[in-house]
Amino acid sequence: MMVGSEKVLDILNIIELPSSNLIIFCNFSKYIYPLNHRKSKSDFIEIFMSDDFVKSIPGVKCEMRLGKGHFSHVYKGSYEGHSPVTIKIIERGGAHEIQREIDLLKRIKGCPNTINLVDTFLHQGHTVLIIDFVEAISLNRFYKKVQIKNMQNILHDLFETLNAVHARQVVHRDITANNVLIHPKFNKACLIDWGCGSIVSSRMRPNAGTRPFRSPEMLMNSISYDTSCDIWSAGIYIWSILCGMTVPWRAKTADQTLINISEYFGADELLQLSEKISRPIAGSIQAQFSQSPTKTLEQDFISKMGRLQHPLLIDLMKSLLKIDPDERPTAEEVLNHPFFSEKL
């Protein structure tokens, strides 16, 4: 519907696209925006697989929709006697990337606190992954209820996982709150969604994962980084929790993220890393760096998370957030940090 130079979208438009087995739900109350106003589709649109397509998958019974990723749709249900399971339907993406995720799940099989791949197959051009279901709480409940003792258990499980997968030369590359599932009793954690993961090689993809959680070497477009990128991301994961489930230096580009990071660490360490890994930073970007730190990580903590601001947790977080990857501890070394032996 057009109103002058503006477009009006009705409260609920349902468009079925049979060729792609998708239904698009535009669910908002007559949102009006100028035609020249660029807005991400994800701000307005939720895309799910059509029920008929899901029901047509042999051996699969979907009980409820859990959510969606950039290229996938996730359900809880049962599969050939296995119940409950998570059913991940990969709607699009390159065959290489899909096979890489499957290979990684097989490679990390048996590692603690990871998801177990039950089966995988193709159905009408879509890849279907059947994974053991992991019971978990919502991020909202986690944010409201988590206590410092819980963080001790959660982070121990996380670094136990990283220690095991890193020993198999696997990196996750997307350690965010969305990908660390927390058991309802807050006593266990599980690292999920290995779609951004990789086996460490001499040619790595620098733009993997969620930008604010990427390590400085990845933001500098290094292709030869290693498992230490996960250590940095784990530090950002802790920081994001203490900051109210957000990353204060988030930005729309890698360069702007580096500029924002310089406000906390200064320019020298970033430029030293750039030279060390032979990834030059444009002069126009360097000119925007803060020469000396103007902010502290602690100043972005929020009072609502004061119950988690234990000195040892903060010390652990800072030990992970080293600009130079060679100065970051290994996951095994992290597990020996005093935070994990403290009686909380």
Domain chopping of the chain, boundaries? 2-49, 51-132, 139-340
State whether residue 52 is helix, strand or coil: helix
pLDDT of 298-342, one tens digit each? 999 999 999 999 999 999 999 999 999 999 999 999 999 999 999
Residue 37 has pLDDT above 90, yes or no: no
Residue 247 has pLDDT above 60, yes or no: yes
* Residue 49: predicted pLDDT: 62
pLDDT-based confidence at 13, cuts 50/70/90?
very low
**Residue where the block lists tokens 């106003």:** 37
Residue 174 has pLDDT above 80, yes or no: yes
pLDDT of 141-152, one tens digit each? 999 999 999 999
Do the Cβ atoms of 168 and 108 come closer than 8 Å?
yes
DSSP 148: H
Residue 38 has pLDDT above 80, yes or no: no
Do the Cβ atoms of 303 and 124 come closer than 8 Å?
no
Q: Determine phi and psi for 65, rounding to 5 degrees.
A: -85, 130
Residue 173 has pLDDT above 70, yes or no: yes
Q: Is-same-fold flag (51-132; 139-340)?
A: no
Return the CATH class of domain 139-340.
Answer: mainly alpha
Least confident stretch, 93-107, 132-146, 191-205 = 93-107
Percent of the chain predicted with pLDDT > 90: 75
- Say yes or no: domain 51-132 is CATH 3.30.200.20: yes
